[in-house]
Structure 1
Amino acid sequence: MSRIRVALVEDHDLTRVGLKTAFLRESEIEYIGEATNGTDGLKLLQTQRPDVGIVDIGLPGIDGIELTRRFKSLAVDKTATKILILTLQDQEEAVMAAFGAGADSYCMKDIKFDLLLEAIRATHQGNAWIDPAIAQIVLSQAKASTTPPSNDPPNYGLTERELEVLQLIVNGYSNADIAQELYITVGTVKTHVRNILNKLCADDRTQAAVRALRSGLVC
């Protein structure tokens, strides 16, 4: 199995060294380089073309959002290198600016390393990975930008119970919360969630929620 080529753009020494050390221990990761500021980071991404570039927002020189925007605008193949933002910033303005600049995924720095690896895998595969800590920001923006459809929305074959579960997902409920709210087991909730993802052709709960909001399935 080919390894995921990863480059890191991070100005904080302890964070950068810690991540580098952790990545070098992972057989599925090929650590191909690092940079400590936005200007050098842009050059690194352009020359090395990693599968996933992990970029901090608060960089010296050009910040991570501007780096992402410039890299995506100059890239011939805009899907070859995925950008995963790894930052302490969870403000709505930063989150939406990052995605607006072309970021593929967004993680908080307090994420567990195993989850970061999961995010890297998902991003490499072309799926957006959104940290649960900021998922509600993305959902609220989707709600704000959704125009109610003039006709009845497509049902996608969802059952009444699946629609109830989907509405609770949009409202930010966890599987345990949904189980308690609907008086069903967590295992049953997981089955409903899996069916919802399949029927909506969604890769994760956040994508399913955004798709449901935009189609008018839920509000």
Structure 2
Amino acid sequence: MTDRPIRVLVCEDQELIRAGYVTVLGAQPDLEVVGEAANGHEALAQAERLNPDVVVMDIEMPLLNGIEATRRIAGPEAANPAKVLVVTTFNVDQYVYDALRAGASGFLLKDAPLSELIDGVRTIARGDSLLPPAVTRTLIGRYADRIRPAGTPAPLDGLARRELEVLRLIAGGLSNAEIATELVLSVETVKTYVSRILTKLNLRDRVQAVVLAYRTGLVSAE
């Protein structure tokens, strides 16, 4: 475990908002703002050059929108994928869905308190997702028919019975504490199971785990 600060790249086309993010995030002892970008092309160039841990990404940006920039920075084709926190004024299911499909690890509205932005960066840096459980459940469930193929692919074959139970509950939108209560386990034990699941399935975070659970048919939208 390293004690170095979390390296953050801020991508936002509105200068005042970008400056505010940079100031607030840079004031945290465990965060370091290593770069800024005012459009999607700059975001790609800076991400490649700086290799940040977390990218704070606006959706509506000139030249290249935040969804496509996220896909190139955090998607499966990215050479050195970063974790992306999408921050936008648009509280629209389709935006959230597209951002998650592109590889984002979390979603936050611009009118959220700045403390939530700070906590959000820390949350996705440690491998957790930033979506309220209810949003995870309804959003992924609503679009499950678009992302779940027929049959159950092989990846889940490597999971033990208890790990499958935990994955089902993650996909149901339960937090670690709620999973612990449901399965009568300690929160630390649940964290261990979640970490093991992500490692076995080669997943970046809980968001990817939720999507995979629907894709494989482990859970359904019904």
Name whichever of 47-56 and 202-211 sits farther off. Answer: 202-211
Cα distance, 1:70–1:207 mapped onto 2, change above 3 Å: closer
Distance 2:168 2:63 in 1: 43
Matched ranges for 1:1-219 at <5 A: 1-72=3-74, 77-79=79-81, 81-101=82-102, 103-109=103-109, 110-125=111-126, 127-132=127-132, 134-135=135-136, 136-142=138-144, 145=148, 147=150, 157=161, 188=181, 194=187, 201=196, 219=220
Distance 1:74 1:211 in 2: 14
TM-score normalised over the length of structure 2? 0.65
Identity across matched positions, percent? 30
- Partner amino acid, structure 1, of 2:123: A
Helix, strand or coil: the match of 2:56? strand
TM-score normalised over the length of structure 1? 0.66
Listed one character per residue, the Cα deviations across residues 77-100 of structure 1 (whole Å, up to 9, x for unaligned) are 333x22221112332322232233
RMSD value over aligned CA atoms? 4.1
- Partner amino acid, structure 2, of 1:111: A
Mark the runs of 5 or more structure 1 residues left unpaired by the alignment: 179-186
Mark the runs of 5 or more structure 2 residues left unpaired by the alignment: 199-204
Cα distance, 1:61–1:210 mapped onto 2, change above 3 Å: closer
Distance 2:207 2:52 in 1: 26
Asked if 1 retains the 8 angstrom alpha-carbon contact of 2:105 and 2:207, the reply is: no
Helix, strand or coil: the match of 1:11? coil
Q: How many residues align?
A: 202
Listed one character per residue, the Cα deviations across residues 59-108 of structure 1 (whole Å, up to 9, x for unaligned) are 122111122234457976333x222211123323222322333x331222
- Which residue of 2 is the match for residue 182 of structure 1? none
Distance 1:70 1:166 in 2: 27
Cα distance, 1:68–1:174 mapped onto 2, change above 3 Å: closer
